Amino acid sequence: EIVLTQSPGTLSLSPGERVTLSCRASQSVSNSYLAWHQQKRGQAPRLLIYAASSRATGIPDRFSGSGSGTDFTLTISRLEPEDFAVYFCQQYGSSPYTFGQGTKLEIK
Amino acid sequence: QVQLVQSGAEVKKPGAAVKVSCKASGYTFSNFGIHWVRQAPGQGPEWMGWISAYNGNANYAQKLQDRVTMTTDTSTNTAYMEVRSLRSDDTAVYYCARAYRPLQYPLDYWGQGTLVTVSS
């Protein structure tokens, strides 16, 4: 199975800053079938990015994704207060689906 | 709007079974499938399996296939996931999530999660 490794585990940042999160796969992700989800405490996870770089419906354009093969990134161009959450990557190109451990963004 | 509403928290003893429901609304239920994902405390999410709401075909994660059964009821637009022979390491938040097909389509809407606690 494909193992996804996210780094860093936690980031302390201020609103308005730019941030780039990393997701590295143990083998190539088929057709860049890589998604990013946002998870807030007590809420349903929300799909942000699919196919590595396509924004899901209703997602603000400050969120962007890039990458291919084994290296993927999620960038938030300017952090808003509501963006402080956990972000995890997920590959859906091969079975079993696998997820990263998540990166937590916390307010500095 | 698409919504997946899950059943409430459960506390079970080791060896028991638990059945979690996921009621869908806002779309044609039989046109999609449902994935089940769980997240143990302090860990990343773990994929459990997928079921087609069209024909009930399911495939399960290898480590769980002997203890998990997924079903759907198209008359009520509800998916169910049962885990048997519960162990302490089954303690987790269980999520359902929609996807068009079992592979190559993202999980685009998620339920709010159901906490299952296994404790004697």
A102 vs B4, B44, B97: nearest CB: B44
Contact status, residue B20 vs residue B6, Cβ threshold 8 Å: yes
Q: What is the mean pLDDT of residues A32-54?
A: 95
B113 vs A44, A50, A92: nearest CB: A44
Q: What is the pLDDT of residue B103?
A: 85
Whether B44 sits inside 8 A of A47 (CB atoms) is no
Q: What is the pLDDT of residue B57?
A: 95
pLDDT at A28 over 90: yes
Sequence-separated (6 or more) residues with CB below 8 Å from residue A42:
none
pLDDT tens by residue, B42-89: 899 999 999 999 999 999 999 999 999 999 999 999 999 999 999 999
Residues 37-66 in B contacting A (C-alpha not used; CB under 8 Å): 37, 43-47, 59, 61-62
Q: A10, A43, A92, A98: best mutation site toward chain B, by most B Cβ within 10 Å? A: A92
Token digits of residue A61:
């354009």
Token digits of residue B49:
């399996």
Q: Residue B54 phi/psi, 5° resolution? A: -75, -50
Percent of chain A topping pLDDT 70: 100
Q: What is the mean pLDDT of residues B93-112?
A: 94
Q: Which residues of B touch A98 (CB under 8 A)?
A: 47
Q: Which residues of A touch B109 (CB under 8 A)?
A: 44, 47
DSSP string covering A53-89: TEEPTT--TTEEEEEETTEEEEEESS--GGG-SEEEE
Pick from A91, A96, A85, A44: which is nearest to A65 by CA?
A91
**Interchain contact A43–B (C-beta under 8 A):** yes
Q: What is the pLDDT of residue A91?
A: 97
Q: A32, A97, A104: best mutation site toward chain B, by most B Cβ within 10 Å? A: A97
CA angle A99, B69, B24 (to 5 degrees): 70
pLDDT at B9 over 90: yes
Q: What is the pLDDT of residue B40?
A: 95
Percent of chain B topping pLDDT 70: 100
The residue behind tokens 């199975």 is A1
pLDDT tens by residue, A2-13: 999 998 899 999
